[in-house]
Chains A and B, each alone.
Chain A
Amino acid sequence: MSEAFAFLNDIVDYGPQILSGLINTLILAGTISVTGLLAGILIFRLTLSDNEIIRKSTARYISFFIGTPLIVLLFLMYYGLPQWGINFSPFTIAVIGFTLNIAAYNSRYLSAAYNGIDQHQLMAASAQGFSSRQIFTLIILPQTLRRAIPGLTNQVALNIKDSSIAFLIQYVDFFAQMQEQASLNFQYLKVYAVTGAVYLLLVSLVIFASKRLETRYAIPH
C-alpha cells in the first residue's frame, strides 16, 4: 500500500516534467499528422501526373520510404548533417523525417481509395470541360479523402505511437520523461505499464474520433 503510494508520489513530484513531455508528444504527433497528410496529398497528386518520369520517381519515393526504417533517416539527419555544418533541432529533424515517411503511407491510402472510385465521373467531368487541376480538387480529392478516412486516421494513431522513437534523437517527449522517471525510482515495470496505458488512451481517442468521422463523412450509395 505504502509502496503504491510512494510510486504515485514520485509521479506527482515529477508531474510537471511528465506533463511537458506529454505536451511535446502531442505537439510532435499533431504536427506530423498535419504535414504528413498535406505531403501525402501532394505525393498522391504526383502519382496521377501525366508525366511518366514524375510518376516513376514518385513510385520510387514511395517504395523507398516504405522499405527503409524511419529511424535510419532520423539518425542520418541527426548525426550526419552536422558534418556539413547543418544543425537542426531534434524537433525539426523529427518533423522532416516523419513527414517524408508518413507522406509515402498516406499517398498509398489515397491511391487505394482512388482506385475504388467510379472512373466514369472523371470522364464526365473532363467532358464537361473541367481542367485536370479542377477535376483533382473538386472531384478526386473530396472522394478519395473520404474513402481513405480509415487508413488516414489509422496513420494518425501510428504517428502517436511512432513519435515515441524521437527520444532516440534526444527529443524530450513523454516517453523520454517516463524513462527518466524509471531510472530514478527503478520501478521499470510500473512506469512502463503506466506509459503504455497513456499511449493506449491516446490511440483510443483517435480510434473513437475516426469512427465518428467515418459515419459523418460516409459517401451515400
Chain B
Amino acid sequence: MTFLEIVSILARGAGFTILVTLACILTGFFSGLLAALLFRLDIRPLNWLLHAFTYTFRGIPLLVILFLVFFGLPSIGLPIPPLVAMMLSLGLICGAYLSEVFRGALEAVDPNELMAAQSMGMRRIQILTAIEIPQMLRFSAPGMLNEFTTVLKYSPFAYTVGVPEILKEATSLALTTLRGMEIYLAVGVLYFLIYKIMMEMFLWVERRYAIPGFKQI
C-alpha cells in the first residue's frame, strides 16, 4: 500500500471531518452571536446565566462535555446523535469563546456613529443590523479565524462517539495494516491541507468584505 493509497482511503473520512467542523462552526457562530447580543440587553439575571455559560464551556475539557452529552443524556431519556453531540459540546465551546470575541468587538464600535444613527431616527434593531453587527463582524475576523481553527483541530474527537471521519478511518486502517507511522503522518498532512484551505477561504471572504482604512480605534 503506497502513501498515496493511504491518503485516498483516509480522504473518505474528510467529508465527515468537514461536516463536523462546519456544523460546529455554525453552532458556535450563532450561539456566540446570540450570547453577545443578549449581553447587550444588560439584564442582571440573564447576564449571570450568560457568564455561567461562557465560564463553564471555556473551563471544561471538550471530551468531558462530549461524553456528558453523548453518554450521559441518554440515561435520562435523551438520546443524542453523534453529530448533535459534537454541536452541543464543541459547537457551544466555540460559541462561548466567540461570544467574548464578539462582545469585545461590539464595544469597539464608535459610540458617535451610534448616536448619529439614533439622531437619524433609526430604531434600535436597525442600528444593530445596519451599523453594529457589520462593524463588529469585521473587527472579529482574527478572533473568528482562531476559533474556527480550534474547531477543526478538535473535530477528530468526533471519532470517540463514532463519526466516521478521518481519524476513525485511520484507526481502523492502522489496526488492519499495522503501519501507524505512514497512516498518521498522512492524517496530519490531510488535516493541515484542510486547515490551509479553510484559512484561505476565510481570508478570501475577509478580503472580499474588507473596507479600506477600516480599523479598530
State yes or no: do A and B come from one complex: yes
- Measuring CB to CB, which residues of chain A are less than 8 angstroms from any residue of chain B? 64, 66-73, 75-76, 78-84, 157, 161-162, 164-165, 168, 175, 179, 182, 186-190, 192-193, 195-196, 199-200, 203-204
Evaluate whether A196 and B75 lie within 8 angstroms (CB atoms) in the complex, with A67-B149, A68-B195 already known: no
Give chain A nearest CB distance to B40 CB in angstroms: 24
Asked if B184 lies at the interface with its beta carbon under 8 angstroms from chain A, I say yes
Q: Is the CB of A196 within 8 A of B65?
A: yes
Give chain A nearest CB distance to B3 CB in angstroms: 13
Q: Is the CB of A203 within 8 A of B59?
A: yes
Give chain B nearest CB distance to A154 CB in angstroms: 10
Give chain A nearest CB distance to B200 CB in angstroms: 12
Give chain B nearest CB distance to A7 CB in angstroms: 13
Q: Is the CB of B180 within 8 A of A192?
A: no
Q: Which residues of A contact B191 (CB under 8 A)?
A: 67-69, 72
Q: Is the CB of B156 within 8 A of A72?
A: yes
Quick one: closest A residue to B93, CB to CB?
A161
Evaluate whether A199 and B167 lie within 8 angstroms (CB atoms) in the complex, with A69-B191, A71-B157, A76-B184 already known: no
Quick one: closest B residue to A66, CB to CB?
B149
Q: Which residues of A contact B196 (CB under 8 A)?
A: 67
Q: Which residues of B contact A188 (CB under 8 A)?
A: 67-68, 71-72, 74-75
Q: Which residues of A contact B178 (CB under 8 A)?
A: 83
Give chain B nearest CB distance to A74 CB in angstroms: 9
19 contacts between A and B (CB under 8 A): A66-B149, A68-B192, A72-B156, A80-B182, A157-B59, A161-B60, A165-B63, A165-B157, A175-B63, A179-B67, A189-B76, A192-B64, A192-B67, A192-B68, A193-B68, A193-B72, A195-B64, A195-B68, A200-B60
Evaluate whether A161 and B61 lie within 8 angstroms (CB atoms) in the complex, with A72-B191, A80-B181, A189-B76 already known: yes
Evaluate whether A67 and B192 lie within 8 angstroms (CB atoms) in the complex, with A75-B184, A161-B60, A195-B64 already known: yes
Main secondary structure of the interface of A (DSSP, over half): helix
* Interface bits B175-204 vs A (CB < 8 Å: 1, else 0): 000111111110110011001100100000
Q: Please, how many angstroms separate the alpha-carbon atoms of A168 and B63 in the complex?
A: 11
Q: Please, how many angstroms separate the alpha-carbon atoms of A192 and B71 in the complex?
A: 9
Chain B count of residues within 8 A CB distance of the other chain: 45
Q: Please, how many angstroms separate the alpha-carbon atoms of A192 and B63 in the complex?
A: 10
Q: Please, how many angstroms separate the alpha-carbon atoms of A182 and B188 in the complex?
A: 32
Centre residue among A66, A70, A72, A196 by max chain B CB count within 10 A? A72
The 5 nearest A-B residue pairs measured at CB: A79-B180, A80-B181, A189-B72, A76-B184, A67-B195
Q: Please, how many angstroms separate the alpha-carbon atoms of A53 and B185 in the complex?
A: 24
Q: Is the CB of A76 within 8 A of B64?
A: no
Q: Which residues of A contact B179 (CB under 8 A)?
A: 83
Centre residue among A71, A168, A204 by max chain B CB count within 10 A? A71
Quick one: closest A residue to B189, CB to CB?
A68
* Interface bits B22-64 vs A (CB < 8 Å: 1, else 0): 0000000000000000000000000000000001101111111
Quick one: closest B residue to A204, CB to CB?
B59
Quick one: closest A residue to B55, CB to CB?
A200
Quick one: closest B residue to A154, CB to CB?
B58
Asked if B12 lies at the interface with its beta carbon under 8 angstroms from chain A, I say no
Quick one: closest A residue to B153, CB to CB?
A69
Q: Please, how many angstroms separate the alpha-carbon atoms of A84 and B178 in the complex?
A: 11
Give chain A nearest CB distance to B190 CB in angstroms: 9
Evaluate whether A175 and B71 lie within 8 angstroms (CB atoms) in the complex, with A83-B179, A83-B181 already known: no
Q: Please, how many angstroms separate the alpha-carbon atoms of A11 and B188 in the complex?
A: 39
Evaluate whether A75 and B67 lie within 8 angstroms (CB atoms) in the complex, with A80-B180, A81-B181 already known: no
Q: Please, how many angstroms separate the alpha-carbon atoms of A194 and B56 in the complex?
A: 13
Q: Please, how many angstroms separate the alpha-carbon atoms of A96 and B153 in the complex?
A: 18
Q: Is the CB of B73 within 8 A of A189?
A: yes
